[in-house]
Amino acid sequence: MDKVNCIISQSATIRESLVKIKLNKIGMVFIYDENDRIVGVATDGDIRSCLLDHFTLADSIESVFNPNFVWRRDTDSRESILKLLDSQIKAIPILDSDSRLVDVITSSQFPLLIEQDVFARSKAPVRISFAGGGSDLTHYFMAEGGAVINATISLYCHVMLRPRGDLKITIDSLDLDESVSYDDLDDLFGKLDNFDLFRSLLKLIKPNFGFDLSVNSDFPSGSGLGGSSSVMVAVLGCFNEFRRDKWNDYELAEMAFQAERLNMGISGGWQDQYAPVFGGFNFIEFKKDNNLIHPLRLKDRTILDLQESLVLFETTSGRNSGSIHNDQKTNMQDKKVQRIVKKNVTHCYEMRENLLRGNLTEFGAGLNLSWKMKRQLSNKISNDDLDDIYEYAMANGALGGKLLGAGGGGFFMFYVKTFSKNSFLSAMKNRGLSQTVFHFDHDGMQSWTNRDTHK
């Protein structure tokens, strides 16, 4: 709308006002005073009435205009304006806080919202694994085939990503308790610091814009919950929000694997990347040509009962998952170890059947066998302190359990007998271990964008 033809000075004549009305085609003109404030409106109907009352075209419009008119502030909602238009108001002047004209809105000339800057957010859960550990290592399943059962839980990595108008990159990690700034992507690639995890991922993504990245997690480093993979997946999810051709779930998991296992050279299996992307309970088969994710359709009561029966405890033991996986890789040349892993895969199928049928007592007891097989894969997986914790838990009401992740520390998970939970928790508290409360996550990584209104 041409605002010039919609307004006229209160000292102008009726003739001049009619010329404006003819030009603006809205059937009215808005009157401004010596301070450019809109003080009234004169419609073509108002002017006709005055001319019939013996006013002349040379008379001032000031004697004609109506000071009681409909208007809206430039901060008012579009909804309120639409309602006025739907009430047969032909044109609505939009005024600023000083009552000066900002725009004139009509039903045919209602501008769209100006596209605002946006930022992306994401969250990716960590996983707990029940059976099949060791069989998701490439050097094993390429020959034998592997399978695992895992589920994601309500401990998340949270990421925010905001594109910048320049090539500068900032990364703020609460997990590392550190913030860094780089001039551009080349500067980031050339630095040696604690942000190698992000560097390896950005070498794959190669964003052509600068950005501010913020990361924080609900879980500690070295938890055995696949936390580093959840960080990778959450960061990928944010960048995916700014792509036209979005990566699918399998591609997201494969990129996270490539960045962590190949680019960074951290040894480990494949399940950690798939779990946070897909979420929920999954039975994952690993084969030479492809990996297949089979979501498990469990009854709600099965999920609730399992959630109430499982308990997580964080140990204080340190761990290095990469070195443990390297040791497993070496040990995998041993035929005895290969037979254990193969038995673990068979056990994984049995665990799946118990879970699907809701046989949770058998499932819980099966965790004990999972742990016994797991700890034979490497002498780095457990130690005297961890063995003491496990035996103590079993003696105080646990039906089965296992150390999560590669081993060496992190979180212990126990399945507790139905009416032993209170005494079990008391005993574990006396042992100096506190429970980490969780619920199962069914959504996997979620990402979305929102308007950046906090600049």
Query: Token pair of 236, please?
Result: 């990928």
Report d(CA 403, CA 342) in Å as an integer: 19
Residue where the block lists tokens 């901060």: 75
Question: Quick one: which of 243, 229, 53, 68 has its CA closest to 155?
Answer: 229
Report d(CA 78, CA 217) in Å as an integer: 38
Alpha carbon 425 to chain centroid, angstroms: 33
Question: Quick one: which of 262, 221, 251 has its CA closest to 410?
Answer: 221
- Give yes or no: 59 in active site: no
From the CB of residue 443, how many other CB atoms can be counted at a distance below 10 Å?
12
Q: What b/e string do you get for 196-218 counting C-beta neighbours within 10 Å, with b at 16 or more?
A: ebbbbbbeebeeeebbbbbbebb
Report d(CA 52, CA 191) in Å as an integer: 83
Question: Please, where are the H alpha helices in 194-270?
Answer: 196-205, 227-240, 249-257
From the CB of residue 152, how many other CB atoms can be counted at a distance below 10 Å?
29
Report d(CA 276, CA 61) in Å as an integer: 70
From the CB of residue 244, how many other CB atoms can be counted at a distance below 10 Å?
4
Catalytic residue (one of 136, 272, 327, 441): 272
Residues 6+ apart with CB under 8 A from 18: 44, 47, 57
Question: Can you say whether the dihedral through the CA atoms of 306, 308, 310, 314 is positive or negative?
Answer: positive
Question: Quick one: which of 325, 152, 147, 320 has its CA closest to 233?
Answer: 152
For the annotated catalytic residues, the residue numbers are: 272
